[in-house]
Amino acid sequence: MQKKEEIRYFRLIVKLIILENGVEQQNKTNYGDIEFGFYPSVAPQTVEHIYKLVRLGCYNTNHFFRVDKGFVAQVADVSNGRTAPMNEEQRTEADKTIKGEFSDVKHVRGILSMGRYSDPNSAQSSFSMLLGDAPHLDHEYAIFGKVTKGDETLKKLEELPTRREGIFVMPTERITILSTYYYDTEMENCQQDKTVLKRRLAASAVEIERQRMKCFP
């Protein structure tokens, strides 16, 4: 059974960046923040995996490759969706597959649900935010949390222009996850968090320099 309390949280700052021939333009819009809460009692392995990906900064520079109004906004797999290169520790965690932790929690607006291939145990790092009720996904995809703040941001994403490619409805402009921040309601070792943050800042500095060189040779 799902418990009411959500123990772990992280924030996503979602920023729409318009690209033209792969080059960032000056007209940028920050679409706001989205805050997530995890369900460790519902999907403990999934929560542990996603939380570690967040701590390592794996979702930074990734993007929402799919925005299907009234259905889902889906984050790309970090191994293919990031613009910043991944270090060995990030790639090791991103390459892991997670056993499907299917539960009785319902797929309704705001729920976080893992993406996967036909194999029920093939989830890695892609996940969806539900933009509406989707009962046909119940017991088929692993729910691991929900949106706790940021519904206005979701509404903004739903208003973006899209195009259809096969079964997917995709935004015409790249929706980049600028960065992720997290906090844990359980007391943790601050020194460990400081070490992780230093690694993330170093990786971000490399990406900023790469973008600078691309735009200003």
pLDDT at residue 13 greater than cutoff 80? no
Q: Model confidence over 183-213: pLDDT tens digits?
A: 665 545 444 555 555 555 555 555 555 555 5
Q: Where are the domains of the chain?
A: 8-215
| Through-space distance between the first and last CA atoms of the chain, rounded to whole angstroms | 56
Whether the CB-CB separation of 102 and 149 falls below 8 Å is answered with no
**Residue 198 buriedness (CB in 10 A; 0-12 / 13-18 / 19+):** exposed
What local confidence, expressed as pLDDT, does residue 59 receive?
92
Q: Which of 4-18, 30-44, 159-173 has the lowest mean pLDDT?
A: 4-18
Q: In terms of residues, how long is the chain?
A: 217
What values do phi and psi take at 189, rounded to 5? -75, 115
Containing H/E element for 81?
Answer: helix 78-81
Q: Which fold has domain 8-215?
A: Cyclophilin (2.40.100)
Report the distance separating Cα 95 and Cα 98, nearest Å: 10
146 bridge partner residues:
37, 111
Question: What are the tokens at 152?
Answer: 């206005």
Q: What is the pTM of this model?
A: 0.78
Report the distance separating Cα 80 and Cα 18, nearest Å: 19
User: In sequence order, which residues have a C-beta less than 8 Å from that of residue 176 and are 6 or more positions away?
Assistant: 14, 15, 16, 17, 61, 62, 63, 83
User: In sequence order, which residues have a C-beta less than 8 Å from that of residue 211 and are 6 or more positions away?
Assistant: 24, 83
Question: What are the tokens at 202?
Answer: 């170093």
Q: Model confidence over 29-61: pLDDT tens digits?
A: 567 788 888 898 899 999 999 989 998 999 998
Report the distance separating Cα 75 and Cα 64, nearest Å: 4
